[in-house]
Structure 1
Amino acid sequence: MTDLMNLRSVSAAYGKGQVLWDVAFDLKAGDAITVLGRNGVGKTTLIRTIMGQLAASEGHIYWHGDEITEMRPHQRSRIGIGFVPQGRHIFPHLTVRENLEVGLSALARKGFKGPKAVPEMVFDLFPKLTQIAGRKAGVLSGGEQQQLAIGRALAGQPQLLLLDEPTEGIQPNIVQQIEDALRRVRTELNVAILIVEQNLDFAWSFADRYLVMQRGRIVKEGRTAQDSADTVAHLVHV
């Protein structure tokens, strides 16, 4: 199977402060990878670099074999990379449906011939969004806002979905609903998913592969089916 994305010796910095060193891994369609580590080790920086919100200072990022290292975030969105940031970043004064329609901007990609409307699949994955479609997003619960943020990213029909701390501050029953929905996104739509996560139980349950970061580097990686979560817990928990 052809790789969807390749990172090769990627480093990144905020000003003169380097925060990522020599990161390399591959993603295929339908993969589920979790990035683990304590706060401040570079997990969010990694996902922002993949999305193009932070420029790589060294190394290369490839998408279907083509280099996208210099590509801007909106261009990466249009080639099929979706992003759900930490904190969700929904538009509080827009309705749920209007927020979802914002995600349609990603469909401006070259050659897209489908209807530019919120796919019914989004409402099928998150039925609650149908019930609250006319409600202002700012009055929603944290769990509802997270479902909305994921739905908005999926409205752009990505091939790769990046999520930064999707379970943070979410009730366990909603976390399970989100996990079930993301599992369907993988299996039914063959979308690759890369999750930055602190919730080790969720990460181990959902992902096939894991990457553990320390001080801006990947220090351990493997498959969740082969390794116990206990083997990485000391690298994740404070």
Structure 2
Amino acid sequence: MSGALLSTEGLASAYGQSQVLWDVGIELAPGTATALIGRNGVGKSTLLGAIAGTRSATAGRIVFEGADITGLPAYRRARAGIGYVPQGRHIFPHLTVMENLETGLSAGGGRVGGNARVPQHIFDLFPKLHAIRDRKGGFLSGGEQQQLAIGRALAGAPRLLLLDEPTEGIQPNVVQQIEAALRTVRDTLGMTILIVEQYLDFVWRFADGYCAMQGGRIVGRGSTATETAAEVAHLVQI
């Protein structure tokens, strides 16, 4: 697995006595976007959480930039360069848009200076966030909250961005903005992306490859350039 930004080997995770992930092995090359697909309940969100550190691994290991991070808490993984946008966004409703974005700066740890400001490229990616920067998070629309959640993760300057269902419940024009933003962070900023997404036509437009899950296991993987979304959807019965 040399050359991978992130890899997992034999990864397992459970909720109490119920095992969710079984012997999961993935490999993410630097600067690529990978779609993690499958029906609801097959373990996709658990896998993202295990990588981000919000779920514990019961077996196996996770290697990021050559270092074993399996035992690290979530905040240390964030400081190491892993950004995470969970399903449901989880923004701070009583903080302003700008204050929410500033909380993301702390994820950079030693890589962010004491006088650091929210990077301008976040407002270039999502101009609406600058226009509503003084509005409280709880008063934002679903699309605005999703843009804010992604922007907050990007504020920590991650090298790996994990996204869980970023288009869920989002209006089409915002979906287009999110797609354009993800293309930019991969192609211009060189960021690696692992995205859980049910809307395959969306993710197929920019992802380089896919990993398909069933029953907590990886059951297929391939290139979006050589396999259509319809073909892969049939494989995993989405």
TM-score, structure 2 normalization: 0.96
Query: Is the 8 Å Cα contact of residues 211 and 221 (structure 2) preserved in structure 1?
Result: yes
CA distance in 2 between partners of 1:186 and 1:62 (Å): 21
TM-score, structure 1 normalization: 0.96
1:83 aligned onto 2:78: no
Q: Which residue identity is paired with 2:59?
A: E
Q: Which residue identity is paired with 2:149?
A: A
Q: Which residue identity is paired with 1:191?
A: M
User: Which residue of 2 is the match for residue 52 of structure 1?
Assistant: 53
User: Which residue of 1 is the match for residue 39 of structure 2?
Assistant: 38
Query: Is the 8 Å Cα contact of residues 37 and 198 (structure 2) preserved in structure 1?
Result: yes
User: Which residue of 1 is the match for residue 106 of structure 2?
Assistant: 105
Query: Is the 8 Å Cα contact of residues 37 and 235 (structure 1) preserved in structure 2?
Result: no
Q: Which residue identity is paired with 1:147?
A: Q
Deviation at 1:172, TM superposition (A): 1.1
Q: Any stretches of 5+ residues in structure 2 without a counterpart?
A: none
Q: Which residue identity is paired with 2:95?
A: L
Paired positions, count:
237
User: Which residue of 2 is the match for residue 133 of structure 1?
Assistant: 133
CA distance in 2 between partners of 1:17 and 1:8 (Å): 20
Q: For residues 167-221 of structure 1, give each alpha carbon's deviation from its aligned partner in whole angstroms, at most 9, with x where no partner exists.
A: 0000111101100011000011100000001111112112111011000001111
User: Which residue of 2 is the match for residue 146 of structure 1?
Assistant: 146
CA distance in 1 between partners of 2:112 and 2:67 (Å): 19
User: Which residue of 1 is the match for residue 12 of structure 2?
Assistant: 11
Deviation at 1:64, TM superposition (A): 1.1
What is the DSSP-based 3-state SS (H/G/I as helix, E as strand, rest coil) of the residue aligned with 1:94?
A: coil
What is the DSSP-based 3-state SS (H/G/I as helix, E as strand, rest coil) of the residue aligned with 1:206?
A: coil
Q: For residues 79-115 of structure 1, give each alpha carbon's deviation from its aligned partner in whole angstroms, at most 9, with x where no partner exists.
A: 0000001000011111000000010111213x55585
User: Which residue of 2 is the match for residue 119 of structure 1?
Assistant: 119
User: Which residue of 2 is the match for residue 190 of structure 1?
Assistant: 190
Query: Is the 8 Å Cα contact of residues 207 and 224 (structure 1) preserved in structure 2?
Result: yes
Q: Which residue identity is paired with 2:76?
A: Q
Deviation at 1:2, TM superposition (A): 2.6
1:224 aligned onto 2:224: yes
CA distance in 1 between partners of 2:237 and 2:9 (Å): 28
Q: Which residue identity is paired with 2:37?
A: L
CA distance in 2 between partners of 1:132 and 1:168 (Å): 22
Query: Is the 8 Å Cα contact of residues 147 and 178 (structure 1) preserved in structure 2?
Result: yes
User: Which residue of 2 is the match for residue 178 of structure 1?
Assistant: 178
CA distance in 2 between partners of 1:220 and 1:135 (Å): 44
CA distance in 2 between partners of 1:127 and 1:112 (Å): 23
Deviation at 1:65, TM superposition (A): 1.0
What is the DSSP-based 3-state SS (H/G/I as helix, E as strand, rest coil) of the residue aligned with 2:11?
A: strand
User: Which residue of 2 is the match for residue 61 of structure 1?
Assistant: 62
Identity %: 60
What is the DSSP-based 3-state SS (H/G/I as helix, E as strand, rest coil) of the residue aligned with 2:23?
A: strand
Query: Is the 8 Å Cα contact of residues 198 and 236 (structure 1) preserved in structure 2?
Result: no
Query: Is the 8 Å Cα contact of residues 211 and 218 (structure 1) preserved in structure 2?
Result: yes
Q: Which residue identity is paired with 1:179?
A: E
Q: Which residue identity is paired with 1:140?
A: L
Q: Which residue identity is paired with 1:15?
A: G
User: Which residue of 2 is the match for residue 213 of structure 1?
Assistant: 213
CA distance in 1 between partners of 2:93 and 2:22 (Å): 37
Deviation at 1:56, TM superposition (A): 0.9
What is the DSSP-based 3-state SS (H/G/I as helix, E as strand, rest coil) of the residue aligned with 2:198?
A: coil
Go from structure 1 to structure 2 and tell me whether the alpha carbon gap of 1:56 and 1:26 turns closer, same or farther (over 3 Å shift): same
What is the DSSP-based 3-state SS (H/G/I as helix, E as strand, rest coil) of the residue aligned with 2:5?
A: strand
